Structure 1
Amino acid sequence: MLTYSNSTNMLEQSAYKFSLQDREEPNLYRDLFDYDSVPKISFNHRTVPLNMPDNIWITDTTFRDGQQSTSPFTVEQIVHLYKLLHKLGGPNGIIRQSEFFVYTQKDREALKECMELGYEFPEVTSWIRANENDFTLIKELGLKETGILVSCSDYHIYNKMGLTRAQAMDKYLGVVKSVLAKGIRPRCHFEDITRADFYGFVVPLAEALNNLGIEAGIPIKIRACDTMGYGISYPGAALPRSVPGIIYGLNHYAGIPSELLEWHGHNDFYKVVTNAATAWLYGSSSVNCSMLGIGERTGNCPLEAMVIEYAQLRGTTDGMDLSAITEIADYFEKAIGYEIPPRTPFVGRNFNVTRAGIHADGLLKNEEIYNIFNTEKLLNRPATVAVDSHSGLAGIAHWINGFFRLNGSGEEIDKRSDIVLAIKKLVDLEYEQGRNTTMGDAELEVMLQKVNFDEYERLAHIHLHKK
């Protein structure tokens, strides 16, 4: 059967039919995953076309998958973070949904308080087990969509659940029918898709679910879950690990439209951000993330990373308020007590801090030389210099200008000024006496007061009025 594609403007074959391939023994892809070796990446040199959807967005799982890896949040913390998600996502809902647990009184209270805020975005959704009591609970809470676990690799079907593929498929379809009967939108989480038989189970299941949704008049979303982080973005990589192949196949062979496709990845092999962006590029409208990337084992895709990736791919923030990224990081560290590794991009306290004197000299002359973008304007995080034995005069001058927010004021301190020379003598003395740690802001502030208290007061006055 031939159909005309509006995206490629060509006639394309569309009559693909993949039937469930049941089997007595599981296919564990032992040629790729022998367990006693590092997993292998195989190639079949088959490539699929880029297919960026008209609209792409981000969904959040901080309060579900993310919360499983940290000390449980309080209701107050969940509500505050949800408000920051709303601020970050902006009026256009680039952060489209946020996913909650519903099993404890605390989770339900937080969910209700977030819903009562009345935000259109992010929409509050949930994740449930496959039993009737959970369906009733979701309905009573007034939720319009819920995630349902639909494990799709033989590792889970045979070795965890003790079912065959046919039995698993019957079970999943029955659960989804029950959810549809209550008028709730199902979001089916295809767990462990990067170790699953794509044509023998994934595509037939996705197609059957899509048909159920069409019959019920309720769209069914498919979340492709790279549960173990095995996904590969390389062109020509073979299934089951190929991210382009998975997204293209769900879209082209199973008939799942882009707006009903979502990618959920983990970072076990350092590929989580690239894989999420690849899912966008090859046809998934949605990528699922968590704030700061918290989650099982190595974590989920960091939400802040995909916010920046969105801006890079689209050339616009589309109304997102990127300064909320800094507010989220500050709240995690100060209110929740979560320690962010200092060199974490966009949120770590040292992500735009330089120590090298030659870099500091470049920052003094033109900040663009060593800062990735205007982090002060976009993230409310000015580029700074950490002063140590390698910082030199330029590093100290840049610290003064950054600490007192003098940049652009016409009052910038030159690296050859007397106060910089005097502070450098004190700094050098510290390291000559055996110090091996970075100088803190408070220490440098005291040094400035010591060498020229009047100048310190003048700069502090400028800073106060600039605030």
Structure 2
Amino acid sequence: MKYNSIDVIKPKLYKDIFSYEEIPIIKFNNIQLPINTPENIWITDTTFRDGQQSMTSMNTEQMVKLFDFLHELDNDSGIIKQTEFFLYSQKDRKAVEECMKKDYKFPEITSWIRANKEDFNLVKSMGIKETGILMSCSDYHIFSKLNKTRSEAMKMYLDIVYVALENGIIPRCHFEDITRADFYGFVVPLAKNLMELSMESKINVKIRACDTLGVGVSHIGVELPRSVPAIIHGLKYYAQVPSEFIEWHGHNDYYASVTNSTTSWLYGGSSVNTTLFGIGERVGNTPLEAMIIEYAQIKGNVKSMNLKVINEIEKYFEKELKYEIPPKTPYIGSEFNVTKAGIHADGLLKNEEIYNSFDTRKILNKPPLVAINLYSGISSIAYWINSYFELKDDKKIHKNDERLLSIKNKIDEEYENGRTTNISSEEMKKLANLFIFSFSNTEQAI
């Protein structure tokens, strides 16, 4: 160890912030750090590792299919750069073997192990070029979970990295619980030692900053250890970690995983770790699809990505994995761009851009829709029919079309008779077929 940690007799638990009897407090120091977004930023995936821990375990075939989906979504853009797998079970190793046979450039296959040499033998046997290694950083973990001193923990971590480098494997060091860790007393010395090993071996050593409990804060002027800008800035400038070696891994316990991940990009980290639909430990990880949209907003494009594949992945999750996606989930939920207000529907009918911020039909294969209910007017019904049946130009139904009154009367009758639920798409299809297209049944219209 060229750089020593600051050993303490008692663990530093930041009880002035994390009292445990109260919700953690945000402490401000009003220090303004510079935004310094790297030229190249990208996304990594941990659906098969962290994500899989939170739901029904996937079988080999399902993992391989989702790997194919990730490749199709990335579409050789390199934005989804890597995905990581467990190696402990036979089905996980089989999935890795099958995925490696695909020989895709993106996403690259990586693994995850604990900080011991026995686990490392698994990586070597599989022929994987990079592996994540667990390195708990906070005194909560070092003292209470590992039952070690900071120096002992650091030596254990550096020993396993040294073994990885000896074997030509890129170590990705997972700094667990970094948002409750002594940044200058442990995180910076560990990171500097790792950068020394990287220079000596001429092999990249990466650092994944893990916001394990989701307590990271993106606001400017916040004190460590919770400040995301200060963590990323500190790794880059105090520990001399290059941007391309810095990755953020956030959880959504405080509804902040997306903003924290974006902040890590803005302040100097190149990589953000995600899962499909945000699945993961407790409330979940940063959603991969959300960071694609964040990438698009920062960079102004998504290169060659095929975002329509997100729709296919959503259907696969629901049908094959029996995973229920809340209907109002942004970008993927069945009702994420469904308006229920009559005045909004009238705006959509006149110009979609009034109430839709981008062409969700073109980009995500999800046309903006309106919900038909007790409060829906003629404009809502007209817009629903035009959108569902993709009627354009001179084929569009206008709100002054008298045929819409018959549909409106039928809907009103439903609610006068005590109905409280929305009119379903199937019911709307039948009404449109009957009164607009003059079909007596749905099958003829389809």
Give 1:13's aligned residue: none
Aligned residues: 445
Match of 2:167 in 1: 182
1:271-290 equivalences under 5 Å are 271-290=256-275
Tell me, yes or no, if structure 1 residue 360 matches structure 2 residue 345. Answer: yes
Q: CA deviation at 1:362?
A: 0.6
Q: For residues 270-312 of structure 1, what are the alpha-carbon distances to aligned partners after superposition, in whole Å with 9 as ceiling and x for unaligned? A: 1110000000000000000000000011110000000000000
Alignment partner of 1:443 is 2:424: no
Return the alpha-carbon distance in structure 2 between the equivalents of residues 293 and 213 of structure 1. Answer: 32
- In 1: Cα distance, 2:443 partner to 2:153 partner: 69
Structure 1 segments, 4+ long, off by >4 Å, are 455-461
State the alpha-carbon separation in 2 of the partners of residues 27 and 284 from structure 1. 26
Q: Which amino acid aligns with 2:222?
A: A
**Stretch moving more, 324-333 or 376-385:** 324-333
Partner-residue secondary structure (3-state), 2:260: helix
Considering only aligned residues, what root-mean-square deviation do their CA atoms show, in Å? 1.6
> Which of 404, 408, 411 is the matching residue for 2:395?
411
Residue-by-residue CA offset, 1:210-238 (whole Å, 9 max, x unaligned): 11111111110000000001111111101
Q: 2:176 aligns with which of 157, 181, 191?
A: 191
Q: How does 1:370-385 map to 2 (within 5 A)?
A: 370-385=355-370
Counterpart amino acid of residue 104 in structure 2: Y
Note the 1:100-179 alignment, pairs <5 A.
100-179=85-164
Unaligned runs of 5+ in 2: none
The C-alpha deviation readout for 1:364-416, integer Å capped at 9, x for no partner, is: 0000011121000000111111110111111111111112111x353111122
1:410-430 CA-partner distances (Å, limit 9, x unpaired): 311112223211010000000
Deviation at 1:446, TM superposition (A): 2.2
Question: Is residue 43 of structure 1 aligned with residue 58 of structure 2?
Answer: no
Structure 1: distance between partners of 2:251 and 2:442: 50
Instruction: Mark the CA change 1:336 to 1:458 in structure 2 (over 3 Å): closer, same or farther.
Output: closer
The aligned counterpart of 1:433 is: 417
Partner of 1:422: 406
Q: Match for 2:45: what amino acid?
A: D
CA distance in 2, matches of 1:87, 1:452: 39
**What SS does structure 2 have at the residue aligned with 1:147?**
strand
Offset, 1:451: 3.5
1:13-412 equivalent positions in 2, closer than 5 A = 19-406=4-391, 408-412=392-396
State the SS of the aligned residue for 2:207: strand
Structure 1 residues 456, 221: closer, same or farther in 2, change over 3 A? farther
TM-score (norm 2): 0.97
Tell whether the 8 Å contact from 2:434 to 2:441 is kept in structure 1 after alignment: no
CA offsets per residue over residues 306-365 of structure 1, 9 Å max, x none?
Answer: 000000000111111111111111211122111111111000100000111111111100
1:133 CA displacement: 2.7
Q: 1:121, CA displacement in angstroms?
A: 0.5
For 1:454 and 1:347, the matched residues in 2 are separated by 34
Shift of 1:76: 1.6
Conserved? CA contact 2:430–2:441, under 8 Å: no
When normalised by structure 1's length, the TM-score is 0.93
Deviates more, 1:192-201 or 1:437-446: 437-446
Per-residue displacement from partner, 1:76-100 (whole Å, max 9, x unpaired)?
2111111111122221210000010
Shift of 1:453: 5.6
Report the Cα offset of residue 19 of structure 1: 4.4
Q: Please say if residues 419 and 448 of structure 1, whose CA atoms lie closer than 8 Å, have aligned partners that are also in contact.
A: no
